[in-house]
Structure 1
Amino acid sequence: MTSASAFWIAAVRARETGRGAPLFIDPFAHDLAGDYGYATMAASERVAGGENAFIPVRVRWFDDLTMTSAAAGVRQIVLLGAGLDTRAYRLDLPADADWYEVDRREIFQHKEPVLAEHSPRCQRHIVIADLGGDWAEPLLHAGLDPAARTLWLAEGLFFYLTEPMIVDLLHTAAALCGPASIVAADIIGTAGLDAAAMRGYRDWCDRNGVPPPFGADDPAALLHAGGWRAEHITTPGAADANYGRLPIQPGGRQPGRTHLVTASLATS
């Protein structure tokens, strides 16, 4: 199901790229999505009753955070559960930045042929690993410097994990980076787990013995449990996560709602 979501999100990025005044341009998304991605997007939107307006906003929010971090000197970035992401190719990243993409083999088997004729803007490293297993060793083997300041990106990831898996992942990330490192994630609120759009995925989880979708209303507590201190918490629609696309909402922690969060290494 997570592989299906990667194709779906690629289709959403492709559609956004074709809009007037898009929030971002992803010239690779259409080919990566393929017919399967568009079909998956259409099926999702039939169940949900329309487009998910948050996804393009989320992509842009993570884009902006990535570029701001690079401008501040971060040169090591790890994308956990990379899916069909193309930021290493489409963002104007520093050429000396090391960009690590961690995901399962089947993702890269589809992705690499599509991108083969293109060059990344930075030093891109693919890391074949399952985030439910040992991914630290493959990441280190790929060249990760565990003493370097690092930006960890967990976009659209926690939804598919259990709380113990998330806490373990956060602890592992904390042990693999240096001072002033940052982790960024989106965390759906518990109210959203019961939405009509979730029924198909919940049914799929039940049929396949997969844990149900994860949500939490206290992102700071979740991150703290994994060794990180929340620095900034906002919600889709707030001034810093809107881009003129969503109904205006207050920022900060809003129980029941989705949050976009950045955190630094906890000191105690």
Structure 2
Amino acid sequence: MTVGSAFWIAAVRARESERADRLFDDPFARELAGERGFTTMAASERATGSENPYLPVRVRWFDDLATAARDVTQVVLLGAGLDTRPYRLDLPATLDWYEVDRAEVFATKEPVLAQATPRCRRHTVAADLNTDWATPLLDAGYQAGAQTLWLAEGLFFYFAEDQIVTLLETSARLCGPGSRFAADVTGTTGLDSPAMQPYRKWCAANGFPPPFGSDDPAALFRAGGWHPGHITAPGAADANHGRLHPQPEGVVPGRSHFVTAVI
């Protein structure tokens, strides 16, 4: 996730939190987003012509996964951005929650959260996911070989396929049996659309890979050493909340997917 997109997603969370029928409540999101986040959100919605109902559903899906994971001792949020789950979710006080992202992200985030108390043991890990992030994670107290829940929300879209596979391989090497990895995987439909061209040009000009998508998320996880478990499409009964056009469960070619894989 780019720094700019972190502000944008915080603005999405802030707006959702202010709805009467909100899917979650993030009391920190508005301050974290700031003017930059709301400006970016408005620009994105002008480009697509509408509000994106998928993003709040995605946040809620990862929320539910995190709160249900009572069998793990540690959670690692890769590309944490301006996420605030340790402060707003009902998590065990004994849970170790590790956030991995670049130092400049935490420089923005930590002052906003300075007076708040996390509900679990939160650890920040300043590291670039394109370099050696495993060493800083271990230095922060992560227990190698323990049962772990890995979360990658909105992350794979910004990486090249070989980078994603390396990320999956590294996480698989670090954790023990019973661990899970959850991620959203964008489908290929729309990646070459006119609306995506400005972002593609920005990526090319700034040395970033083009937007990533796959219509075979199971193969992607297998390549990284994980066994695909539950795969669903946003809009399916377990990923909808009345916000999206109904979709069947399982893999829907061309669509984005929410994937949970196991070791």
TM tier relative to shorter chain: over 0.9
1:48 touches 1:196 (CA, 8 Å); kept in 2?
A: no
Q: Show CA shifts across 1:47-82 (max 9, x none).
A: 011111100000000000111112xx2120000000
Indicate yes or no: 2:213 matched with 1:215: yes
Distance in 1 separating the partners of 2:98 and 2:207: 30
Aligned length: 263
The aligned counterpart of 2:139 is: 141
AA partner of residue 236 (structure 2):
A
Indicate yes or no: 2:36 matched with 1:36: yes
AA partner of residue 112 (structure 2):
V
The aligned counterpart of 1:18 is: 18
RMSD (CA atoms): 0.9
1:80 touches 1:154 (CA, 8 Å); kept in 2?
A: yes
More deviation in 193-202 or 91-100? 193-202
Distance in 2 separating the partners of 1:247 and 1:128: 38
Any idea what SS the aligned residue of 1:190 has? Answer: coil
AA partner of residue 160 (structure 2):
T
CA drift of 1:153 comes to 0.1
1:158 touches 1:214 (CA, 8 Å); kept in 2?
A: yes
The aligned counterpart of 1:80 is: 78
Any idea what SS the aligned residue of 2:189 has? Answer: helix
The 5 Å alignment of 1:1-268 reads: 2-70=2-70, 73-265=71-263
CA drift of 1:20 comes to 1.0
AA partner of residue 222 (structure 1):
L
Any idea what SS the aligned residue of 1:44 has? Answer: helix
Distance in 2 separating the partners of 1:195 and 1:261: 24
Structure 2 segments unaligned to the other structure (5+ residues): none
1:189 touches 1:255 (CA, 8 Å); kept in 2?
A: yes
TM-score by length of 1: 0.96
Q: Show CA shifts across 1:205-245 (max 9, x none).
A: 12223210000010000000000011011001000100111
Structure 1 segments unaligned to the other structure (5+ residues): none
Any idea what SS the aligned residue of 1:261 has? Answer: strand
AA partner of residue 74 (structure 2):
Q
Distance in 1 separating the partners of 2:195 and 2:54: 13
1:75 touches 1:98 (CA, 8 Å); kept in 2?
A: yes
AA partner of residue 145 (structure 1):
Q
Change (3 A) 1:196 1:57: farther
Q: Show CA shifts across 1:139-161 (max 9, x none).
A: 00000001210000000000000
TM-score by length of 2: 0.98
CA drift of 1:195 comes to 3.4
CA drift of 1:254 comes to 1.0
Q: Show CA shifts across 1:184-206 (max 9, x none).
A: 00000011312343222112112
Q: Show CA shifts across 1:61-120 (max 9, x none).
A: 0000111112xx212000000000000000010000000000000000000000000010
Q: Percent same amino acid at aligned positions?
A: 66
Distance in 1 separating the partners of 2:135 and 2:125: 10
More deviation in 252-261 or 196-205? 196-205
Distance in 2 separating the partners of 1:235 and 1:223: 16
